[in-house]
Structure 1
Amino acid sequence: MTGASLEGVARQELTQARYGYAFALPAMLLIFGIILGPSLVVIGISLTDYELGALDWRWVGLGNYQEMLGDRTFWRSISNTFTYVAILVPSAVLLGLAVAIMVHARTRTKRIYEVIYFLPVTTTLVAMAIVWNFVLHSKIGPVNAVIVALGFEPIGFFSDRDVVLFSLALIALWQLIGFNMILFIAGLSAIPQDLYDAAAVDGADGWVDRFLRVTWPMLGPTTMFVVVTTTITAFKVFDTVAVLTNGGPRGASEVLLFSIYLEGFEYFRIGYASALTVAFLTFILLFSVVQAWVIDRNVHYR
């Protein structure tokens, strides 16, 4: 090729690159305006002592983070959040997978069961929390009525420090199973029948062998997505705590997001609440990256 032709090709590639950046610019601006911009603002405010409604504020640097590390309430909310996540995530993933396998195996009534299990996902969790408050009420709730009828002591689902996080996780589990089921059903539908036929020829004709040798490995990408999204959802627990327990009893259900709410909108300490928010976002980012890295190493991509 001559020098003129090479120059023409380079000019054409440069023009195409400019068009590409031009088309991507609106999306980049939207991402910055909705995600990156507010995040940078929160980080900036976390370095100040700004209080809601105050006319002046001081630059305190890492002072809010130093206070956070010595705050017993912060560490208690971290412990409650991690306990809640540890209860909810394995249960929501495994039960969602189990329900998906059972529903996917059905023929005539498959759509009916999909709708039934997915209904909790479409409901407003705050409204359903009120219903759950009645169902699990320690005195008038039907669950405790059955427990007392069986000869046992009633359980304070929202007033017992040892039970409250399990009760909140149960409500979230009720809503998450249907969502995870739909994701797993999509993954199950994408598994070729030829793989099951080949496994049967090799002697893996039992349902356990079929699941361990074909279904579970082929669901690797779906499982990774479900685990990461479920973990993020678990970390974001707030609605049920605010409606049902208000962080009680004696702080046993005060999770990190609820602590941020209290610091920012009850005590008006926006600077300190922003520091807690940065810590919250850091936890979610680290957990998502670690989970994706660990699971991705054992995922089979077709």
Structure 2
Amino acid sequence: MRIKALQTLLLLGPSMLLTLLLLVLPLAVVALMSLTDWQFGASTLNWVGLENYVSLWHDDTFHKAFFNTLAYMALVSLGSVAIGLGAALLIESHHSLRGLYRTAFFLPVASTFIAMAVVWQFLMNPNIGLINQVFTWFGAAKHNWLKDYDLALISLAVIGIWQMSGLAMVMFLAGLKSIPVELRHAGLLDGMAHPVDRLFRLTLPMLRPTTLFVVTICGIRSLQVFDTVQVLTQGGPNKATEVMLHLIYTEGFGFLKMGYASSMTMVFVVCIFILTLLQQAAMAKRSRC
């Protein structure tokens, strides 16, 4: 028994040590820092307890960033899942063009967004942008997509969907591959000859675990949105696109209020933890059924 315990410790030791050093220890430091008033570069700090969290409760900017992040997550998750599923089904149904479709839909995932941001800035330019040009062809008015208070967050969500649909597509393709061919043949024998009938009665029910996983992954990645906001809007106009990670960055490295930024970070971590728990609970319920 001692030899087995030693072997187990030797096998798990490196990964446990890395987890401790790279995840647990930094998170513990941030949690402690959130209970102080430390400012970046200061040589001293004061213990303030839960004062930072009380300030968050009354901070309108944080409330705005929090609900903007949730709205962005909802839009991007639903859009990415819908387009990713559609792309996966399209690829599976067109054998001759699979390579082209895979490349086209996965290209945004492999692209460096800082470079692609220049393209999106041009596309959404209020004067010469291609999107506005298309709108004018149909007689619609031009919009300043990234500077309009009502449209800025939706515009960023469209970019987020463009970024994440390829990832969702890959995961749905894996899910489609896991559906036994025998079930599809049985469905044909049972009268599910129409593709739409097979989609709703066979494919989608079999893809429920995959769909749940994709929604969770897309939701967590959507919560982590930062580069889009930093490059294109900087949280504007009038905080319309302010999100949690960008606000944490601004408070911590712009205003140097590391203690306050750490309290925001802990709230952010709790949100991701809750999403993960919900996924695990849903998967466990599914397995019991």
Partner of 2:182 in structure 1? 194
**Cα drift, residue 39 of structure 1:** 0.6
- Corresponding residue to 1:75 among 63, 70, 75: 63
Aligned residue pairs: how many? 289
1:43 equivalent in structure 2: 31
Structure 2 residue aligned with 1:213: 201
Check if 1:182 corresponds to 2:170: yes
Shift of 1:155: 1.2
TM-score (normalizing by structure 1): 0.92
Structure 2 residue 78 is the aligned partner of structure 1 residue 90: yes
Is 1:220–1:299's contact at 8 Å kept on the other side of the alignment? no
Whether the 8 Å CA contact 2:87–2:169 is kept in 1: the answer is: yes
Q: How does 1:225-236 map to 2 (within 5 A)?
A: 225-236=213-224
Take 2:33 and 2:136, find their aligned partners in 1: how far apart are those partners?
52
Does residue 254 of structure 1 match 2:232?
no
Instruction: Find the partner of 2:92 among 104, 115, 118.
Output: 104
What secondary structure, in the 3-state scheme, does the structure 1 residue paired with 2:95 have? coil
Asked if the contact 1:217–1:300 (Cα under 8 Å) also holds between the matched residues in 2, the reply is no
Does the CA contact (< 8 Å) of 1:217 and 1:299 recur in 2?
Answer: no
Q: Distance in 1 between matches of 2:137 and 2:100?
A: 34
Q: How does 1:134-283 map to 2 (within 5 A)?
A: 134-283=122-271
User: Displacement, 1:296?
Assistant: 4.9
Question: For the residues of structure 2 that align with 1:203 and 1:149, how far apart are their CA atoms?
Answer: 46
Partner of 1:58: 46
* 243-252 or 190-199, larger mean C-alpha shift: 190-199
Q: Deviations over 1:167-225 (max 9, x none)?
A: 10111111111111111111111211110111222222221221222211222222122
TM-score, scaled relative to structure 2: 0.96
Q: What are structure 2's unaligned runs of at least 5 residues?
A: none
Instruction: Verify the 8 A CA contact 2:74 2:219 in the aligned structure 1.
Output: no
CA distance in structure 2 between the aligned counterparts of 1:150 and 1:136, rounded to whole angstroms = 17
**For residues 197 and 18 of structure 2, what CA distance do their matches in structure 1 show?**
48
TM superposition shift of 1:73: 0.6
8 Å contact 2:126–2:132 — kept in the other structure? Answer: yes
Kindly indicate whether the alpha-carbon contact (under 8 Å) linking 2:213 and 2:279 is maintained by their aligned counterparts in 1. Answer: no
How far 1:153 sits from its partner (Å)? Answer: 1.4
Give unpaired runs (5+ residues) of structure 1.
1-12
Q: 1:300 to 1:123 in 2, by over 3 A?
A: farther
Percent identity of the aligned residues?
A: 39
- Asked if structure 2 preserves the Cα contact closer than 8 Å seen for 1:49 and 1:57, the reply is yes
- The residue matched to 2:89 in structure 1 has which SS? helix
Larger Rg: 1
Asked if 1 retains the 8 angstrom alpha-carbon contact of 2:229 and 2:235, the reply is yes
In 2: Cα distance, 1:179 partner to 1:194 partner: 28
Q: CA RMSD in A?
A: 1.5
- Equivalent-residue separation in structure 2 for 1:192 and 1:201 (angstroms): 15
